Amino acid sequence: MSKKFALVFLALLVGASVAWAVESPIPPSKGQWGFALEESLPLYEKADADSDSEYVDFDGEWFKVPSAVRDSDNNLWYKVNIDGQSGWLAQNGVRLKLQNAGKSKAATNLYKKYKKNKNALRSLIGLTQDEVRSTLGTPTMRETPYEESEVNILSFELTDRKMTLVVTLRDGEVEKAVFKEGRAGQTD
């Protein structure tokens, strides 16, 4: 195999895995569902990073999340059953479609203000996660990148268009907020 061909193949492989990790298929409409942002994640025996764990592979499909709990450090843990193995996934590396989360009228109204005044999103900067939720309601999805446990990304789908307000929090405060074309979990 030539070096040029090998480099092209490697670039395509890396590009495909990055795309897989970012974009997810449309989740089922009812219930709470998770999507792994990594090809494999540790499945813990208990909702505790010090408990026994085993890495499980994911196939790029959504999985049911019947319950979630917060630990003493305020991290989320998701109760799951993956290929017959029951356990807990830490929030890192998981996109969660929240149960009972619909489209956000408040985010839609904020978009209307934003169209008239591009500074409208600044009202979100510095808010805490609780303040964001009291302002915008329950997000359609939330995720935490695998290597950045201090980051939470909340996505609010708009009611009147295929657009999502993506709010990024770092250490519990809004760092940035942007409107993106597409549904939650499928924006670029």
> pLDDT tens digits for 27-42?
887 889 999 999 999 9
Tell me if 160 is assigned to some domain.
Answer: yes
Q: d(Cα 44, Cα 77) in Å, to the nearest integer?
A: 10
Q: Answer for the pair 42, 54: CB distance below 8 angstroms, yes or no.
A: yes
Same structural domain, 93 and 48: yes
Q: Which residue has the higher pLDDT, 187 or 3?
A: 187
Q: d(Cα 20, Cα 39) in Å, to the nearest integer?
A: 9
Same structural domain, 113 and 93: no
Q: Answer for the pair 75, 59: CB distance below 8 angstroms, yes or no.
A: no
Per-residue pLDDT, 43: 98
Percent of the chain exceeding pLDDT 70 equals 87
Q: Answer for the pair 114, 121: CB distance below 8 angstroms, yes or no.
A: yes
Confidence of residue 17 (pLDDT cuts 50, 70, 90): very low
111-170 pLDDT tens trace: 999 999 999 999 999 999 999 999 999 999 999 999 998 999 999 999 999 999 999 999
Side-chain-side CA neighbours of 112 within 13 Å: the count stands at 9
Same structural domain, 112 and 175: yes
Q: d(Cα 174, Cα 167) in Å, to the nearest integer?
A: 7
Please determine, for residue 8, whether its predicted confidence score (pLDDT) is greater than 90: no
Number of residues assigned to the chain: 188
**Average pLDDT of the residues of the chain:** 87
Q: d(Cα 18, Cα 157) in Å, to the nearest integer?
A: 23
Same structural domain, 80 and 124: no
For tokens 């805490």, the residue is 128
Instruction: Show which of 76, 97, 118 is a domain's final residue.
Output: 97
**What are the start-end ranges of the H helices in 86-138?**
105-116, 129-136
Per-residue pLDDT, 74: 85
Same structural domain, 86 and 127: no
Q: Which two tokens stand for residue 83?
A: 């290929």
> Among 1-10, 24-33, 74-83, where is mean pLDDT lowest?
1-10
Q: Which residue has the higher pLDDT, 139 or 1?
A: 139
Same structural domain, 177 and 113: yes
Tell me if 23 is assigned to some domain.
Answer: no
